[in-house]
Amino acid sequence: MNGVQMVEGEVRELIRRQRLDPARDHDAVADLVRAAVRDYEERALHGGLDPLPDSTAAHRQVLDAVAGFGPLQPFLDDPSVEEIWVNEPSRVFIARHGRTELTSTLLSAEQVRALVERMLKPSGRRIDLSSPFVDATLPDGSRLHVTIPDVSRTHWLINIRKFVARADRLEDLVALGTITTPAARFLSAAVASGLNVLVAGGTQAGKTTMLNCLASAIPANERVVSCEEVFELKLSLRDWAAMQCRQPSLEGTGEIPLRRLVKEALRMRPSRIIVGEVRQEESLDLLIALNSGLPGMATLHANSAREAVMKMCTLPLLAGPNVSSSFVVPTVANAIDIVVQVALERDGRRVVREICAVPGRAEGDVIELAPLFVRRSGELVRADGFPPHRDRFESAGIDVAAVLAEAT
C-alpha cells in the first residue's frame, strides 16, 4: 500500500466516524484530506513511511477518491472534455473538441461498479438485472448512461456526456462560428414571434446547446414548461418549470414516460413548451399541442431538415394503430414552422448547415420546405425561402422582410 492509499484509508475512516456525507459536506471532507496529508508527511519525516512524491497531487487524488468520482474526476473538471465513456476497465475514452482520445486511465471492475453506484446515489435511480439501462444526471449537470451485462457483452458500459456551456445566447454561437449574424437575428425574431422550431442533428451536433440559445430569445413575460428524459436544459428564464422522466420501481410501477410529461405540461398554464428530444409516441402529443396554438420547440435526431420533417411524420404513428398518415402529415405541415439543422464537422466544429421554413403545404405524404439559409462553400448564406406566419412577426413588432433583407 502506497502513501496515497494509506491517506485515503485514514480519511474514509474519519468520514465514517464523523458521519459526514462527502456529497453534502464537501468543505469538511476537503479539510480532513488536507489535515491527513499534512499528518502523513510529518510522520514520513520521523518514521519509516515513504514520503509523498507530490503533496498537492496526493491531496487532489484522495479528495477525488472520497468526494468525487475517482480517476474520472479530472476529466469531469476539465472544461475541454465534452464526453467520457468506459468500454471496459482498461479502456477509458474521452472526446475533446469533437475528437476521440484513448486515455491512460486504468480501472478495475470493482472501481467501475463503485463509481456507478456513487454516480447514481444523488439521483435515486438504480440499475440491476431487471433494469439493465439507466439514465441520470450528475450533480454538475452531466448526463450519465450505464448499460450492464448481459445486455452488454462482458463489461459495464458508462457514458458521461458533459454539458460544456460555451454558449448561452445566439450571439455566443455567432462568436463560435456556429451560425452567422443574419441567421441568428432571424432565429431570434422567429422565437420571439412564437414560431415553432425543430432543432435536428446527429449525436453531439449541439442540439441541446442550440435549444438553450434559442430559448434565450423567448420574451421574459412568458411561462415555459420543459419536458426531458433527464435534466439537460439550462434556461435563463424567469418563469420556467422543468420536468424529467422517472424510472419504474422495483415492482415495475411508477414509471413516468416523456409522453405523460407532455400531457401534464399542458395543464400547467404554459405560454410555451419545450421538449428536450422527441423519440417516440410523445411526438403526437407535442404536435397536437403545437397545432392548438401553443408555441414550442424540440430537438430530433436527423441528418437533414427534410429527414427531420419526415421523421416527425413517422414517429406519431407509434402512438397507436388508429393514428394514420392522413392525419399526421397535414398536422406536421401546420405545426412545425422552422427546422434548424446542426452538424458536427470532421474537424470538431459544430455548425448550422441549413435553416428551412415549413410553409404549411403538403402534397400526398410530402411536405413542402422552403430553404431560408443554406451552407455553400462552407458559408451559411441566405436562400430564397420565406417563413410562414408573417402576421405573428408583425404582432411582435418585427419586420421579418427587413431582417431577411439584411442577410441578402
pLDDT tens digits for range 199-222: 999 988 999 999 999 999 999 999
Structural domain harbouring 106 = 70-163
Q: Is the pLDDT of residue 16 over 90?
A: no
pLDDT tens by residue, 330-389: 999 999 999 999 999 888 889 999 999 999 999 888 999 999 999 999 899 999 999 999
Look at residues 46, 68, 90 and tell me which one is the last residue of a structural domain. 68
Predicted local confidence at residue 105, as pLDDT = 94
Q: Could you tell me if 295 and 275 lie in one domain?
A: yes
Report, as an integer, the average pLDDT of 297-322: 95
Q: Could you tell me if 359 and 232 lie in one domain?
A: yes
Query: Cα angle at 207 between 342 and 88, to 5 degrees?
Result: 110
Q: Is the pLDDT of residue 240 over 70?
A: yes
User: How does DSSP classify residue 317?
Assistant: G
| Cβ-based neighbour number of residue 339 at 10 Å | 27
Q: What percent of the chain has pLDDT over 70?
A: 99
What's the burial of 66, exposed, middle or buried (CB within 10 Å: 0-12/13-18/19+)? buried
pLDDT tens by residue, 188-205: 999 999 999 999 999 889
Report, as an integer, the average pLDDT of 313-332: 93
Q: Which residue has the higher pLDDT, 404 or 130?
A: 404
User: How many distinct structural domains can be found in the chain?
Assistant: 3
Predicted local confidence at residue 184, as pLDDT = 97
pLDDT tens by residue, 41-65: 888 887 777 788 888 888 888 888 8
Report, as an integer, the average pLDDT of 308-328: 93
Q: Could you tell me if 238 and 353 lie in one domain?
A: yes
Q: Could you tell me if 149 and 186 lie in one domain?
A: no
Predicted local confidence at residue 165, as pLDDT = 62
Bridge-based pairing of strands 197-201 and 338-344 is parallel
Please, which residues bridge with residue 352 across strands? 342
Tell me if 273 sits within 8 A of 289, measured CB to CB.
yes
pLDDT tens by residue, 152-170: 999 999 999 987 667 889 9
Question: What CATH code is carried by the domain that includes residue 91?
Answer: 3.30.450.90
Give backbone dihedrals phi and psi of 247, rounded to 5 degrees, phi first: -70, 160
Look at residues 33, 53, 68 and tell me which one is the last residue of a structural domain. 68
Cell numbers for 329: 402529415
Nearest CA to 75 out of 88, 90, 92 is that of: 92
3-state SS, residue 387: coil
Q: Could you tell me if 176 and 82 lie in one domain?
A: no
Predicted local confidence at residue 1, as pLDDT = 57
pLDDT tens by residue, 79-134: 899 999 999 999 999 998 878 999 999 999 999 999 999 999 888 888 888 889 99
Residue recorded with cell 486511465: 105
Look at residues 68, 88, 114 and tell me which one is the last residue of a structural domain. 68
